[in-house]
Amino acid sequence: MRAVAVKKSSREKTIGLQDMGTLRCDGCGEEFVIGHNPQSTDKRIAEKQAQWLEKVLAEEHERDGKHSDRIELPD
């Protein structure tokens, strides 16, 4: 596992991962922490992942879906 987004409000934790930033869902205000494997942190990749995550969260609201506590991010 290289990178994940974890809900701040969940019991899931990013232990062992490097915190690369926080993203807030425009639809509900839920916050997600983006975490990378400490051996492969990359700020540019984290920024692209944040953009991808924004789209995924918006799509979940369109489908009346709930956000997962943990979302695997693309490389």
The pLDDT tens digits for 11-46 are 888 888 999 999 999 999 999 999 999 998 999 999
Show Cβ contacts of residue 32 under 8 Å, excluding neighbours closer than 6 positions. Answer: 5, 6, 7, 8, 22, 23, 24, 25, 53, 57, 67, 71
**Beta strand ranges found along 1-75 (DSSP E):** 3-7, 18-24, 31-36, 70-72
More confident residue, 55 or 40: 55
pLDDT of residue 64: 84
pTM (predicted TM-score) = 0.90
Give me the chain's average pLDDT, please: 93
